[in-house]
Chains A and B, each alone.
Chain A
């Protein structure tokens, strides 16, 4: 353990090692849940509560019957919950930055992108779990798939794609927030209006004209529409293309912004 090896040390991390490190770091994030079961409750129980609450409190008033309403809202609730779960990316990243874990990782000979990639990968696993859970509860409550299994898988893929894009926004929030509590504050404050000024719970045609524009431009609405089409039948192509366009635009804008903010924060401390 004394001398630096006489043969020169490798100058770079191979892609395979980088991916291995990403999986290890994603595993670490998921392992945290085992010791903090409340976190699991956060992204498991909360969406179910939302589902039940809106279904039984508003269902009758909005759609006439809870069964009709369930078919309208379940795809939307899946989208809404996806938006909320992305906050974990920012929260976890900020915790690593403020507690010094990020520096510990950066001082290791691992791929520079692995810590962030691992965090986002772990988030996608949480997202997949949430979708699965909401679908399972939905089916228990009487939801019937109007399309096919492949359409359902396509819906999941589309939602995960948007989750990936929105994660970049949350990376930015995680980097610029002073502490994890502020991440939650900023994250949810931004997400609440975006998710509720949408067609997740109420059809657009019931809203005043000025709101219609905002709602139909909202990426949450296009994604909810596309998900509805893929789960219960109806138009898919147009809202799906809008969703993908939004996902691309969000990524193109926020990925560079987030990385720049991260590098600036790391260079400042």
Chain B
């Protein structure tokens, strides 16, 4: 039927005089994850809402699972799951009731809906909170419940709109693992995020979106290569080690080390740098307090692609509150 499960060509959406999305093209291959990377207000959410049939595009067309989002929205809805800042659960119901509700709405029998809820609660580590009202959930639990709610119908295509924004690192890692597992089972995912790290971790392909347009696309590695080197940082455990660390790193990167407090950092142009540093530190008998390789951030990507920092376009953002 089609080589791509999500295809969009020239999608446009205007809100009043604001162009929220001005001609977005994208393609997602079956069983892969496309990461849509961009700052607040760049049009990510509006694009996802159009693809998920919640908004009608002003121009362009798109197909999800081979069905036209404009003329066959009901078929599209049978194939997709949606988790976003806006597509949310009923706070007054328990986690379990929320899942049963959606199962019933999807036409499952009472017992099937209960069984599916039990499965999902187990899969998303929510069994202990199953009988608590969703408003009592922590941020991480809430996102897991949102994600579980979008999976009741076992959709083959999943839209994840900033699934980890506002979560602490542990909850984020936890959610990443769950998303990985879904992809491993064959789910096709369109993910929006503000974090390059997240797109890098989860996505097979990335598009960078800015002011409603796609400004770059490629694999995470291609994109990072375009942006530039990673940064190596070593933090000394003791102050006495600092001079030796500076000397050692300066030698390896030919002089470009930067020192800030107890931390020494340098651009890591070659992948050999990290093991070389570890070997040299070990040989010198130095145990560092921290040793890390930091990738470029969304801000670095933006700076290199647009010459601007990644800041929110305040008026282009579509929040769940309509502008008035």
Contact = CB atoms under 8 A, between A and B. Distances in A.
Interface of A: 1-4, 8-13, 17, 20-21, 24-25, 28, 31-32, 35-36, 96, 98-101, 103-110, 114, 178, 265-269
Contact of A269 (B92, B105, B187, B318): B318
A265 B149 CA distance: 24
B170 interface: no
Contacts of B91: 99
Given A1-B187, A11-B75, A104 B324 contact: no
Interface of B is mostly: loop
Q: Which 6 residue pairs of A and B lie closest in terms of their CB atoms, listed nearest first? A: A100-B88, A109-B77, A100-B86, A4-B65, A32-B92, A268-B322
B275 interface: no
A59 B65 CA distance: 68
Given A24-B101, A28-B90, A108 B72 contact: no
Contacts, number: 122
A201 B36 CA distance: 62
B78 interface: yes
Contact of B77 (A1, A101, A108, A114): A108
Interface majority SS (helix, strand, loop, mixed), chain A? helix
B87 A35 contact: no
Given A28-B93, A28-B101, A98-B321, A106 B54 contact: yes
B85 interface: yes
B319 A9 contact: no
Contacts of B1: 4
Contacts of A4: 1, 5, 65-67, 79, 156
B85 A31 contact: no
B88 A101 contact: yes
B295 interface: no
Give the bracket for the number of chain B residues in contact with chain A: 35 or more
Contacts of B52: 107
Given A2-B31, A107-B80, A178 B106 contact: no
A104 B85 CA distance: 11
Interface of B: 1, 5, 15, 30-31, 49, 52-56, 65-67, 72, 74-75, 77-80, 82, 84-94, 97, 101-102, 104-107, 133, 149-150, 153-156, 185-187, 318-324
B320 A269 contact: yes
A105 B101 CA distance: 10
Contact of B322 (A20, A104, A269): A269
A268 B86 CA distance: 14
Contacts of B30: 2-3
A268 B15 contact: yes
Contacts of B133: 35
Contacts of B185: 1
A8 to B, nearest CB: 8
Given A1-B154, A28-B90, A36-B92, A109 B106 contact: yes
7 contacts: A96-B90, A100-B88, A100-B320, A103-B54, A104-B82, A266-B54, A269-B321
Contacts of A25: 105
Contacts of B85: 100
Contacts of A107: 52-54, 77, 80, 82, 87
A106 B82 CA distance: 10
A9 to B, nearest CB: 4
B156 A2 contact: yes
